[in-house]
Amino acid sequence: MWEGQRTLGKLSVKVSAMGLGCWAIGGPFWRGEDAVGWGDVDDGQSVAAIRRALELGVTFFDTADVYGTGHSEKVLAKALGTDRSKVVVATKFGNVFDESRRQITGEDASSGYIRQACEASLKRLGSDYIDLYQFHLNGYDIERAVEVRDTLDDLVRAGKIRAYAWSTDDAERARLFADGGHCAAVQHQMNVFNDAPAIVQLCEARRIASINRAPLAMGLLSGKYSRGASLPANDVRGEKSPDWMTYFSGGTPNQRLLERLEKLRELLMSDGRTLVQGALGWLWARSERTIPIPGFRTVKQVEENAGALRHGPLPAEVMAEIEQVMERR
């Protein structure tokens, strides 16, 4: 029976089956000349949206120190206020940045830097602990990653963090962290366009959470972007988007995926769901370990995302039809 909750791995705590991703509310920031934020943002709207999420039963919030070069963590802290202890907060480390210039300046996974980054995040979050601390360097050298995991185990013992995860799309890297004593999850890209069977299988075998970033394909699965759409230059999906951006190219939607979406639309919107709610329902039906974290900037977006919790996973027969459309079976 659908309860609208999921267990966050070895933390053994229940969280809402959908969390909220706080990348967009960090506002603009850059890596050199490349935009890696989601454009301009209104902090008042962001706070109101998070407060509405709390009212709707959302208890899991995912951010990173680098989002808005610290700004996302600060906004989340302001919004949660005295409700901090009622929710689970995940953040990330590994990117070095200049907060005053809103620029990513490098990467660092040394033990000393991890400890320093942890203290800085605790300060911005206004908290004395982090529930889930996630390594943010997707393709970091797997042999050196053992040292990162050991440092995180030390931080657990020190009471600074409760558990850790690796934000990576590589199953071998995820497995290395899963071997650690306090790994609770893997954060990885997954949506109806991009399945991740190897990582899902790992999460199910190790009984850890599969935290799904880009659950709405960076907004493409919202249905609001058509062939003629274009995004601003300070948006990560805009004209100067990074090489890994596959859902948009040159600031416009991926035409092949738009065509796939039209074939999926009716299936995803079964049982009175919106397109967004169907996309989230696909993830829940995919595995009992999944926790999608759609982004947001407005109260309206939060209400639509959280509304998916009323519908739950897509039915098995709909899932089978979707797999046929996607030619995965």
- Cα(325)–Cα(329) distance, integer angstroms: 9
Note the pLDDT tens digit of each residue in 101-137.
Answer: 999 999 999 999 999 999 999 999 999 999 999 999 9
Note the pLDDT tens digit of each residue in 39-49.
Answer: 999 999 999 99
- Please state, as a whole number, how many other Cβ atoms lie within 10 Å of the Cβ of residue 11: 18
Token pair recorded at residue 229? 């759409």
When the pLDDT of each residue in the chain is averaged and rounded to a whole number, the result is: 95
DSSP state of 260: H
**Does residue 55 come out as left (phi exceeding 0), alpha (psi in the -120 to 50 range) or beta?**
alpha
Catalytic residue among 67, 140, 225, 247, which?
67
Q: Which amino acid is present at 153?
A: D
Domain 5-325: top CATH class: alpha beta
Note the pLDDT tens digit of each residue in 212-252.
Answer: 999 999 999 998 887 878 888 888 898 877 778 889 888 88
Helix (H, G, I), strand (E, B) or coil at 248: strand
Residue 144, Cα to own-chain centre: how many angstroms?
24
Q: What are phi and psi of 127, to 5 degrees?
A: -135, 160
List, in order, residues 6 or more apart from 302 with CB less than 8 Å away.
Answer: 20, 49, 50, 52, 53, 56, 58, 296
- Residue in 50, 46, 73, 59 with CA at minimum distance from that of residue 5: 59
Q: Which helix (H) or strand (E) holds 253?
A: strand 252-253
- Residue in 244, 218, 229, 241 with CA at minimum distance from that of residue 35: 241
- Report pTM: 0.96
Task: Enumerate the domain spans of the chain.
Answer: 5-325
67 is catalytic: yes
Contact, 255 vs 300, CB < 8 A?
no
Q: 95-98 and 103-107 as β-strands: parallel, antiparallel, unpaired?
A: antiparallel
- Cα(22)–Cα(294) distance, integer angstroms: 9
